[in-house]
Amino acid sequence: MNPSAPFDFRGRHLFVAGGSSGINFGVAEGFARAGANVSLMSRSLDRITAAASRLVALGADAIGLAGDVRDPAAVQKALDAAVERFGPIDVLLNGAAGNFLAKINDMSPNAFKSVVDIDLLGSFNVARLAYGHLRKPGASIIHISTTQAFTPTPYQAHVCAAKAAVDMLSRVMAAEWGADGIRVNSIMPGPIADTEGLNRLVPTPQGRDAMAQRVPLKRLGRTSDIAHAAMFLASEWGDFITGAVIPVDGGLGLTGPRDFTAAGEASKQARVAAGSGA
């Protein structure tokens, strides 16, 4: 079955910030299968070019562009190149992010700032600079948040704070840009199998199996679960939805904070051994 079959994005332009791998690439793949032209941007030209090639191999029209979301000039350049190739942006996926496990007392100000800069300031940069290139009316912006944005989680202060702020930024954008015909929403993925984010937090297969059992729906998520939610939000079916923050997590967010103590302490010991940690 073509998982994108209910959706038709032929001739529409998706721009993905942070699209070289994982969830964001999975969303790009869903849109590509539904006919969208896709522009991908991330820090590494090699990774993003390879990702775009995978979409082209599916029959999509796609380009990979280098750009760090922390660098407004680089983001502007990538946006300009994307619009030159595919025209105004119909859907903007703002998903670049960074993460590691560390307690507040083991984080330098720069460690905390690095995640805030990528997740929060980066999302601002991309959306703010994309505004002039969005199709108005009709464009849709989707932020990729996480359930940690509402669940206070030890070893994740930087991510909890940055993503909670991303969700609020998303809602204010919805309020300010609604009159332009731009809808802005946020998706909170739960633990998604075979992704960098989950593997960093839960490094062992046994840990990931235990995590799956904690999910009320008794499985880890798939990148296609997030793609389906994003396509729904960006489609005509989501036409009256803006300012929403939607968990797509199999219900995990209902179960309280996750315990990252073992992996967090192991990560700390590894950094100490490497001479880079407290």
Residues near ligand NAP, by CB under 6 A? 18-24, 42-44, 47-48, 68-70, 95-98, 118, 122, 144, 146, 189, 191-192, 195-198
The residue range among 28-36, 96-104, 179-187, 243-251 that interacts with ligand HXC, by the rule CB under 6 A, is 96-104
Q: Which is nearer to ligand HXC, 175 or 270 (CB)?
A: 270
Min dist CB 107 to ligand HXC, Å, is 5
Helix axis angle, 22-33 to 223-234, nearest 10°: 50
Min dist CB 249 to ligand NAP, Å, is 8
Q: Which is nearer to ligand NAP, 137 or 152 (CB)?
A: 152
Q: Which helix (H) or strand (E) holds 114?
A: helix 109-115
- State phi, psi for 247 to the nearest 5 degrees: -70, 135
Select from 99, 123, 125, 140 the one that contacts ligand HXC (CB under 6 A).
99
Residues in 148-207 that interact with ligand HXC by CB under 6 A: 148, 159, 191, 196-198, 200-201
Q: Which does 107 bind (CB under 5 to 8 A by kind): ligand HXC, ligand NAP, none?
A: ligand HXC
Q: Which residues pair with 66 in a beta bridge?
A: 42
Q: Which does 102 bind (CB under 5 to 8 A by kind): ligand HXC, ligand NAP, none?
A: ligand HXC
Which residue is associated with the tokens 């937090």? 201
The residue range among 99-107, 176-184, 216-224, 240-248 that interacts with ligand HXC, by the rule CB under 6 A, is 99-107
Q: Which does 271 bind (CB under 5 to 8 A by kind): ligand HXC, ligand NAP, none?
A: ligand HXC
Q: Which is nearer to ligand HXC, 206 or 276 (CB)?
A: 276
184, amino acid identity? V
DSSP codes joined into one string, 145-188: --GGGTS--TT-HHHHHHHHHHHHHHHHHHHHHGGGT-EEEEEE
Min dist CB 161 to ligand HXC, Å, is 12
CA 267, distance to chain mean position in Å, is 24
Q: What is the DSSP code (8-state) at residue 32?
A: H
Check binding of 36 to ligand HXC (CB under 6 A): no
User: What's the Cα-to-Cα distance from 275 to each of 15, 51, 107, 271, rounded to whole Å?
Assistant: 39, 34, 14, 6
Helix axis angle, 72-86 to 122-130, nearest 10°: 40
Rounded Cα–Cα distance for residues 245 and 224 (Å): 18
Min dist CB 101 to ligand HXC, Å, is 6
